[in-house]
Structure formats: structure tokens, C-alpha cells
Amino acid sequence: MQARFMSSQDMFPELETQAEAISFTPSRQAGLARLDQFSARTGQHYARQRNFDFGTEKRGNVSALSPWIRHRMITEEEVLHAILARHSSSGAEKFVLEVFWRTYFKGWMEQHPSVWTAYQDGLRQTLNTGIQQADYADAISGRTGIDCFDHWARELVETGYLHNHARMWFASIWIFTLRLPWELGADFFLRHLIDGDPASNTLSWRWVGGLHTKGKTYLARASNIAKYTDGRFNPHGQLSASAEPLSEPMLHPRVPIPIVEPVPDEDILLLVTEEDCQIETLLPHAPAGRLGLVATQRRSPLAVGDVAQAFATGAVEEASGAAPSETDWTDQVIAAAEAVGAKTVVTGYAPVGPAATQLATLGDSGITVHQIRRDYDNLAWPHCTRGFFGLKKAIPQICRQLGFAV
């Protein structure tokens, strides 16, 4: 007998009043408005409905805050404060854990930077040695014949966003059904996601493929997709029935979290990047000048999607007060510092990724760069050494140290 899945209206009749499309506007005001709008739903509503992908016009069951958090137009602390002001820690546990999952990935890769290097090397090698051009082109264009996968490929390019569950299904189908290199899939996501984050994206793809938690894979199943897309898709008979873990020859040793120095008491140039668009609020004194720069195009050797590019550019423009540039950073930083008579550049801490690579090149120019790392990261990252459980245990302590009870 064929299984019958209950519809979303059967299980969650209140959903009808919460169907909504999300407008991803790159402004702090828009992020705060979305946080205020959704914070009341982060209790049992979120816990019961979060895994459903109802489509782009029905995002009322998820927060969709990740683009603003990724650029720190709103911060993790602000999100946690808003949630825990409305719910108990147990009532909002599922949502709180989602906030800390992003933190875990960033803290873990900051202590294992060779994972990012290996991913980039693998991507370049795959692009240089050639790939199954037809299969790859069909996958990124949504022409595989697997309706759900093709829909998500087009949705990603057009909107810059996918539901988290759809991201896992997509990655699993890419790796285990289409048998394409995982680096190419991770690159496709990173080029188009408006919340594209080197750590979260790379490690999520590695987790699906069995590289992050060695030997543990995620297998997309037609029955699961049918259930959690509310029957919109059912790729019965089209998906791989097994998920053999990927392997790699190298190990990724843990390294210490880099030390950051305090901001000197002198004239400074504030450099705003897509890594933290609210960093000015942490400065001990007003900057002599501001400069906004983005490294979005450096996410990949291939072209980055227009939607992702526009969001990052808009975020940095709002924070810095001027349209940012993507050309070589060194000449622009030197010129901007000289224009305001500053010898020191201060910026938000850039975790492993394109912005960090760009900042590293400034050291060769003789410019002194001070990075400000938030207390949230300083408290959480040391617990991100192995699996997520270590950080999960520390969440109550971290929240208390940040000044709010859990």
C-alpha cells in the first residue's frame, strides 16, 4: 500500500494565515523588521513546521533571517535577545540551536582553515581538468529531469535563497544521484546564495558527503521530499538508494584561534566589509573616515550571481555610506587612509574566506590592520573544536556571559 502523507493544512491549520513571501532587502531596517515579525513564531510553531519547504511564496514557517545575519546587518546576539524575550529557552530551543549551528561552522573552520584551502584546490583542479560538461550544465540549469532538483536549481539562481531542507536534498542528489564533484555543487551554492558563507556552505556540503563527520552521510529520499514539500514533489524511483561516504587523503589539523589586538587610540580608517556591517558600533571612538569594500566576486573562479552580489554590495553601501568597490583592496585602502591622515585601518574580524584573504594582502603593503572580533565569537568559537555537541553544552553559559538568561 502506498504511504499517504497528511497535507500541511491537516497538520498545521494555522499555516494559512502565515503564508508569505520574503523580500530580501539589504538594509538593517529590513532585517530588524523581519526579526520582529518572526520572533513570536520561534517557539512551537517553528519546531513543528521548520522542516517544510512550501515554496517561495510560503516562507511563514521559517525565519529567513540568514542573509542579514551572514552580513551582520543584524547580529546573533540581537536575534537571541529578541527570541528569548518572547520564549523560554526550552520553548525556543530548536530555533536557538539553528542560530548556534551557524556559529559552530564558523568557529570550527576558523580552527581548521586547511578545509577551505583544500576545497578551493579541489575546485580549481576540477575546473582545470575538465568535468562532465553536459551533466554539470544540466544540473546548474535545472535540466536533469528530476523535478524537485531542477526547481531548486532555478529557484537558487533567481532568488538567491533556498530552504535549509532543500539545500540538504539538493546536495545529496548532486553527490549521490548525479555523482558530480561536491566542490562544484558547493561552488554553485556559494556563487548564488545571498547568505553564502564560506564556513556554513563548505562544511554543510562536506557533512552531506560524509567528510565532516567521517562516514556519516545524508541521503535524500523521495518519501521525505514528498512529505516535507507537502506533496509538491515526489521523485520516486529517480534518486540513489545508497550514499557511499566520500573520502579525502589529507587531515585537517586544528590551529589556534588568531589573537586580535585592541584598537589603538589614534585616528583610524574604518573598513566595512560584508563580514560585519555593524562593526562601527564597537569602535572606542569615531573613525576619521570610512571605506566599504566587498569580496563577494572572489567567492569563486566563476561568475558570482547577480542577486548575491547585489545583496552584499547593498549591505556594505548602507553601512559605509558609499558604494563599495570589488577591485584590488590595497590601493583603495592606502588612498583612503592617506586622505584622512590615518595610519591604522580597523575592520570587523573576517573569518576564513575571501575577505580574510584580501585583508591578508594588506599586510604586505605596510598598512596596520586591526580586526575587531565580537564577544559572541570569542565566547563561542573555543567550543567549536569537534562536533556540535560541545558547543551545544556551552550555550547556557555563553548566553549568561552575554548578559541574558536561558
pLDDT at residue 12, rounded to an integer: 45
- Residue 24 and residue 63 share a domain: yes
- Residue 55 and residue 14 share a domain: yes
- Residue 315 and residue 274 share a domain: yes
- Residue 147 and residue 187 share a domain: yes
241 contacts: CB under 8 Å, gap ≥ 6: none
Q: Answer yes or no: is 198 within a domain.
A: yes
Domain-ending residue, one of 200, 228, 256: 228
pLDDT digits (tens, 9 = 90+) for 167-187: 999 999 999 999 999 999 999
Residues in the chain, how many?
Answer: 406
* Stretch (H or E) spanning 133: helix 133-141
Among candidate residues 328, 346, 373, the one with its CA nearest the CA of residue 110: 373
pLDDT at residue 363, rounded to an integer: 76
- C-alpha 187/C-alpha 124 separation (Å) is 11
CATH number (domain holding residue 77):
1.25.40.80
In the chain, pLDDT over 70 holds for what percent of residues?
A: 94
Q: Please, are residues 174 and 144 in contact by the beta-carbon 8 Å criterion?
A: no
* Stretch (H or E) spanning 156: helix 147-159
- Residue 326 and residue 387 share a domain: no
CATH number (domain holding residue 173):
1.10.579.10
pLDDT at residue 112, rounded to an integer: 98
pLDDT at residue 314, rounded to an integer: 97
Report the pLDDT averaged over residues 116-137.
89
Q: Answer yes or no: is 253 within a domain.
A: no
- Residue 392 and residue 351 share a domain: no
Q: Answer yes or no: is 245 within a domain.
A: no
- Please tell me what DSSP assigns to residue 290: E
- C-alpha 401/C-alpha 396 separation (Å) is 9
Domain span at 82:
8-109+380-402
- Residue 287 and residue 223 share a domain: no
- Residue 349 and residue 329 share a domain: yes
Instruction: Please identify which residue in the block is written with the cell numbers 566563476.
Output: 302
- Residue 324 and residue 278 share a domain: yes
Phi, psi values for residue 121, rounded to 5°: -60, -45
Instruction: Please identify which residue in the block is written with the cell numbers 553544552.
Output: 393
- C-alpha 3/C-alpha 261 separation (Å) is 59
pLDDT at residue 5, rounded to an integer: 34
Q: Answer yes or no: is 115 within a domain.
A: no
| Whether the predicted pLDDT of 132 surpasses 90 | no
Q: Crossing angle, helix 182-192 and helix 306-320, to 10 degrees?
A: 50
- Residue 20 and residue 101 share a domain: yes
pLDDT digits (tens, 9 = 90+) for 190-214: 999 999 999 999 999 999 999 999 9
Q: Answer yes or no: is 249 within a domain.
A: no
What DSSP string runs through 203-268?
A: HHHHHHHTTTTTT------HHHHHHHTTTS---TTTS-S--PPP--S------PPPP-PPPPSS-E
pLDDT band at 19 (very low <50, low <70, confident <90, very high): low
pLDDT digits (tens, 9 = 90+) for 270-323: 999 999 999 999 999 999 999 999 999 999 999 999 999 999 999 999 999 998
297 contacts: CB under 8 Å, gap ≥ 6: 303, 304, 309, 326
pLDDT band at 2 (very low <50, low <70, confident <90, very high): very low
Q: Nearest 5 degrees, angle CA 129-CA 133-CA 139?
A: 125
Q: Answer yes or no: is 340 within a domain.
A: yes
- Residue 142 and residue 97 share a domain: no
pLDDT digits (tens, 9 = 90+) for 40-69: 988 998 999 999 999 999 999 999 999 999
**For 208, what's the count of Cα atoms within 13 Å in the CB-facing half-sphere?**
26
- Residue 161 and residue 81 share a domain: no
Q: Answer yes or no: is 260 within a domain.
A: no
Q: Answer yes or no: is 118 within a domain.
A: no
pLDDT digits (tens, 9 = 90+) for 318-369: 999 998 987 789 999 999 999 999 989 999 999 999 999 999 988 777 788 9
Give the total number of structural domains in the chain. Answer: 3
Report the pLDDT averaged over residues 137-150.
97
In the chain, pLDDT over 90 holds for what percent of residues?
A: 84
Report the pLDDT averaged over residues 225-249.
97
Report the pLDDT averaged over residues 94-121.
97
C-alpha cell at 401: 556571559
Phi, psi values for residue 272, rounded to 5°: -95, 125
